């Protein structure tokens, strides 16, 4: 049985976008920013023991109709569905995350978009370090977005590395190549990332939402807001205070009791 057509109008309403969706570079950036600023990065369904479904119906139901967020496979999966529905030439890529210093397996999904012979990297699902707008797939080209600076560099043997400038040093984010990615590759990566004990997402609460002047993020009980480069951190109490903060800062309303979540490690 085929999936129903992508819910174009509902998606555009969800990301608060009212402009043209004709496939151009400007509109690719506008759609990218629209989703980054409205749909949060979050992993609560994993901690509730529900797993992560990636079929188009499940993605639209959760992220669009129920106004929840998701992690990279969900956020970039939804964005890819939207781009393809709007007529963009776009396909999935997989990347290895390097933030810890040791590369992971290919457990991060992003997208490659081609327009008039030029390729663009799009990623609405890398949490607090995500791109705010697509960047050209060109090595050593500096891109500054909302005060954050990114570049792509050659990173043998891993392919191409996305870096961000942090406190005067280039931080390694993730590496990728542009080889073909099939649905089974994504299913493998999603399964490991959402179930394996060594995955951050099975043991920690991770939430992030960007805005044009900064971002707000949550790691377990530490809430951090950054506005115009000024950071403020606070510790949230467990229970109703935590649930209220999820709604106020991220628009997340859990449809399960707070106590149903996997407890935080001591």
Q: Find the catalytic residue in 108, 177, 221, 249.
A: 108
Q: What percent of the chain has pLDDT over 70?
A: 98
| Nearest to 28, CA basis, from 110, 87, 93 | 87
Q: Residue 239 half-sphere exposure, CB side, CA atoms within 13 Å?
A: 1
pLDDT of res. 229:
85
Could you tell me the pLDDT band of residue 259, with boundaries at 50, 70 and 90?
Answer: confident
pLDDT of res. 257:
86
pLDDT of res. 258:
85
| Nearest to 125, CA basis, from 80, 182, 170 | 80
pLDDT of res. 13:
98
* Residue 57: count of CB within 10 angstroms of its CB: 11
pLDDT in tens, 89-119: 999 999 999 999 999 999 999 999 999 999 9
Could you tell me the pLDDT band of residue 266, with boundaries at 50, 70 and 90?
Answer: low
pLDDT in tens, 152-203: 999 999 999 999 998 899 999 999 999 999 999 999 999 999 999 999 999 9
pLDDT of res. 213:
92
> Chain-centre distance of CA 91, in angstroms?
16
pLDDT over 60 at 1, yes or no:
no
pLDDT in tens, 15-40: 999 989 999 999 999 999 999 999 99
Q: Find the catalytic residue in 32, 45, 72, 98.
A: 72
pLDDT of res. 29:
97
pLDDT in tens, 112-138: 999 999 999 999 999 999 999 999 999
Helices 72-85 + 25-36 axis angle, to 10: 140
Q: Identify whether 123 is a catalytic site residue.
A: yes
The CA-based dihedral angle spanning residues 168, 173, 179, 184, taken in that order and rounded to the nearest 10 degrees: -170
Q: Find the catalytic residue in 32, 45, 98, 123.
A: 123
Q: What percent of the chain has pLDDT over 90?
A: 89
Domain boundaries, the chain: 8-260
pLDDT over 60 at 143, yes or no:
yes
Distance CA 161, CA 153 (A): 5
CATH number for the domain running over 8-260: 3.30.2140.20
pLDDT in tens, 39-87: 999 999 999 999 999 999 999 999 999 999 999 999 999 999 999 999 9
Q: What is the mean pLDDT of residues 192-217?
A: 96
pLDDT of res. 261:
85
Q: Identify whether 108 is a catalytic site residue.
A: yes
Q: What is the mean pLDDT of residues 257-264?
A: 83
């Amino acid at each position: 049985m085929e999936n129903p057509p992508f819910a174009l109008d509902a998606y555009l309403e969800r990301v608060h976008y009212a402009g043209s969706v004709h496939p151009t570079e400007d509109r690719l950036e506008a759609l990218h920013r629209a989703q980054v600023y409205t749909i949060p990065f979050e992993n609560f369904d994993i901690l509730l023991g529900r797993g992560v479904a990636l079929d188009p119906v499940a993605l639209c139901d959760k992220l669009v109709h129920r106004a929840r967020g998701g992690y990279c496979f969900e956020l970039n999966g939804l964005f890819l569905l939207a781009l393809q529905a709007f007529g963009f030439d776009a396909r999935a890529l997989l990347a290895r995350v390097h933030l810890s210093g040791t590369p992971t397996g290919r457990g991060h999904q992003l997208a490659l978009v081609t327009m008039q012979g030029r390729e663009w990297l799009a990623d609405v699902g890398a949490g607090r370090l995500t791109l705010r707008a697509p960047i050209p797939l060109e090595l050593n080209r500096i891109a500054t977005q909302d005060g954050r600076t990114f570049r792509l560099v050659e990173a043998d043997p891993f392919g191409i590395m996305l870096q961000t400038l942090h406190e005067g040093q280039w931080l390694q984010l993730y590496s990728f190549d542009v080889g073909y990615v099939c649905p089974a590759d994504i299913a493998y990566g999603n399964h490991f990332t959402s179930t394996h004990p060594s995955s951050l997402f099975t043991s920690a609460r991770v939430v992030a939402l960007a805005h044009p002047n900064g971002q707000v993020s949550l790691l377990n009980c530490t809430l951090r807001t950054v506005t115009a480069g000024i950071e403020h951190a606070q510790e949230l109490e467990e229970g109703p205070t935590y649930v209220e903060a999820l709604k106020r800062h991220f628009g997340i309303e859990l449809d399960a009791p707070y106590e149903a979540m996997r407890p935080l490690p001591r």
